[in-house]
Amino acid sequence: MSPRWKEALLLAVILPLSFLGWVSLDLSTGGTLVAGHVVYPLLWTGFFLLAHLVLRILRPQADPLLLPLAAALTCVGLIVLLRLNAHMARLQLVWLGVGIAAMLLLVALLRDYRSLDNYRYTLAVLGLVLLLSTVFFGREVNGARLWLILGPLRFQPSELAKILLAVFFAAYLAERKELIAAAGKVVAGVHLPRPRDLGPLLTMWALSLLLLIFQRDLGSSLLFFGIFLAVIYVATGRATFVVAGLLLFLAGATLTFFLFGHVRVRVETWLDPLNPETVNDESYQIAQSLFAFAEGGLSGTGLARGSPGLIPFVETDFIYAAVGEELGLLGATALALLYLALCGRGLRLAMRCPDDFGKPLAVGLTAVLGLQSFIIMAGVTRLMPLTGITLPFVSYGGSSLVSNFLLLGLLLCVSEGGGELAEGD
């Protein structure tokens, strides 16, 4: 069976789920179907059918699982959002359309992803400018400077920057991997890198700290550093970079713990979220999130039967808690497995990719999805300190949704190989 027919088959299974979600939600909310709500599954289905048809023409050989997996994730996100906040669900539907359009445009325009290699420094500079722009022009929302506000448009630059930097890491490390990996001394069986090869690592470390200190953006800081470590590890095969990187990060985090109150608060609420002194104050959000998961139990309260509205920002950072409450352990686990499947697919296409740029690129992009989803899922379940980032494809948010579809588009490009050039090979 050709990849596109596999994709069609999978979509045929997943697309009806959105109608099931709509029926289930309406019945449990008011007991009757609201005809107007049919717009959500209908448009959502339309978007993914369109994407499928365009891929048939543009990328017949691209990976058949990526689009259905993204469809499943956005389906859960859309139904849960519709339950939480109808206004946000409407906007999310619009952003979904924009995101899929952006993905298709990228797939259409970028005939060969290897051409990105030529713009590596342009992309890196653009990424850094985006990241640092908020330091100077950003607006502080909920304790973190993450937003650029241009008239009526609000934009979270770090969402796009993470892709640009993943591309840059891949390009930079693909070229230098031998140099970095081969040089250096072996001491007691451990391969030590040359000091000058530590440059990129130290630069990234500094950048992460900068994000942490000036933007109070713990999530992005951790994410960027994690992507970098994943790519450098895969590219060089040297675990010493990972160990050194983690030690550096821990040192930086410890430093900020003692220097900055907001980091300290995050750690304290992580260690003791149910402390009666803070439970209605600093640790209110994480405590409410834990209560939501407990309320859900094994099979959940059922859509619209829980009280996820008690958690501040449940539509964005904390949407996983709403899933845990209303869809239960089963639903929350299913969602985690969907991300794992997406990552598995991304790594598989990285292994099959024939060229030295495509491999680390696919790894970097996959690491973005895998790490970002883990950081926030682990954060709201108190597996690690909470850092505010969105759950890819599920959380409410235009910048996040569009960026993730661009990322998906890149993965689709890599999965098909180098377009016309590859065919000519």
Partner 1 sequence: MQKGIRRLGVFFIALTLLLVVNLSYLQVWGQKGLLENPANTRRLVEEYGIARGRIITSDGLVLAESVPAPGPFAYLRRYHQGALFSHVLGYDSPQFGRTGLEESYNDQLLGRKPPRSWVEEMTSDVREGNDIYLTLDAEVQSAAAKYLGSRKGAVVAMNPKTGAVLAMYSWPTFDPQALVTQDKDADGTPLADKAMRSYSQDTGSPLLNRAAAGLYTPGSVFKVVTGSAGLEAGLPASTVFDCPGVWEVGGSRVTNYGSPPRSFGRIDMETALTHSVNTYFAQLAVKMGAPALVKCAEAFGLNSVPPLDLPGVSASRIPPAGKMDAVLLAWSGVGQGEVLLTPLQLCLVGCAVANGGRIMVPHLLKEVRKGEAILDRYDASVWRTPISADTAAEMLKMMVSVVEEGTGTQAAISGVTVAGKTGTAEVEGKPPHAWFLGVAPAENPTVVVAVVVENSGGGGGSVAAPIAREVIRAALR
Q: Does 133 bind partner 1 (CB under 8 A)?
A: no
CB of residue 274 to partner 1, shortest distance in Å: 6
Give start and end residues of each alpha helix (H) in 261-357: 261-271, 284-296, 319-352
Position among 13, 125, 179, 340 found at the interface with partner 1 (CB under 8 A): 340
Position among 31, 152, 195, 261 found at the interface with partner 1 (CB under 8 A): 31
List the interface residues with partner 1, window 158-217 (CB under 8 A): none
Q: Are 97 and 67 in contact (CB under 8 A)?
A: no
Q: Does 296 bind partner 1 (CB under 8 A)?
A: yes
Q: Does 276 bind partner 1 (CB under 8 A)?
A: yes
DSSP 36: G
Q: Does 374 bind partner 1 (CB under 8 A)?
A: yes
Among 38-46, 214-222, 288-296, 394-402, the segment contacting partner 1 (CB under 8 A):
288-296
Position among 43, 110, 329, 422 found at the interface with partner 1 (CB under 8 A): 329
Q: Does 298 bind partner 1 (CB under 8 A)?
A: yes
SS3 140: strand
Overall residue count recorded for the chain in this entry: 425
Strand partners, 144: 141
Query: In 10 A of CB 259, how many CB atoms?
Result: 10
Position among 44, 95, 147, 293 found at the interface with partner 1 (CB under 8 A): 293
Position among 97, 200, 312, 344 found at the interface with partner 1 (CB under 8 A): 344
Sign of the CA dihedral 220, 222, 227, 231? positive
CB of residue 185 to partner 1, shortest distance in Å: 22
Q: Closer to partner 1 by CB, 93 or 367: give it.
A: 367
CB of residue 419 to partner 1, shortest distance in Å: 22
Q: Are 323 and 338 in contact (CB under 8 A)?
A: no
Q: Closer to partner 1 by CB, 6 or 305: give it.
A: 305
Q: Does 102 bind partner 1 (CB under 8 A)?
A: no
Among 95-103, 194-202, 262-270, 306-314, the segment contacting partner 1 (CB under 8 A):
306-314
Q: Does 28 bind partner 1 (CB under 8 A)?
A: yes
Could you give the CA distance from residue 397 to residue 139 in angstroms, rounded to a whole number?
16
CB of residue 266 to partner 1, shortest distance in Å: 18
268 CB-contact burial (10 Å; exposed 0-12 / middle 13-18 / buried 19+): middle
User: Tokens 């979509």 sit at which residue?
Assistant: 11
CB of residue 55 to partner 1, shortest distance in Å: 25
Position among 68, 324, 385, 418 found at the interface with partner 1 (CB under 8 A): 324
Could you give the CA distance from residue 253 to residue 69 in angstroms, rounded to a whole number?
34
CB of residue 349 to partner 1, shortest distance in Å: 10
Q: Are 415 and 354 in contact (CB under 8 A)?
A: no
Position among 234, 253, 314, 414 found at the interface with partner 1 (CB under 8 A): 234
Q: Does 354 bind partner 1 (CB under 8 A)?
A: no
Strand partners, 154: 149
Q: Closer to partner 1 by CB, 21 or 360: give it.
A: 360
The Cα-based distances of 138 to 141, 151, 195, 261 in angstroms read 9, 13, 35, 21
Could you give the CA distance from residue 335 to residue 357 in angstroms, rounded to a whole number?
30
User: DSSP string of 331-386?
Assistant: HHHHHHHHHHHHHHHHHHHHHH--STTHHHHHHHHHHHHHHHHHHHHHHHTTSS--
Q: Does 314 bind partner 1 (CB under 8 A)?
A: no
Residues 6+ apart with CB under 8 A from 288: 310, 311, 312, 321
Q: Does 20 bind partner 1 (CB under 8 A)?
A: no
Total residues at the site for partner 1 (CB under 8 A)?
53
Binding residues (CB under 8 A) for partner 1: these are 27-28, 31, 230, 233-235, 237, 274, 276, 279-280, 287, 290-298, 304-307, 310, 324, 328-329, 332-333, 336-337, 339-340, 343-344, 347, 350-351, 359-360, 363, 366-367, 370, 374, 377-378, 381-383
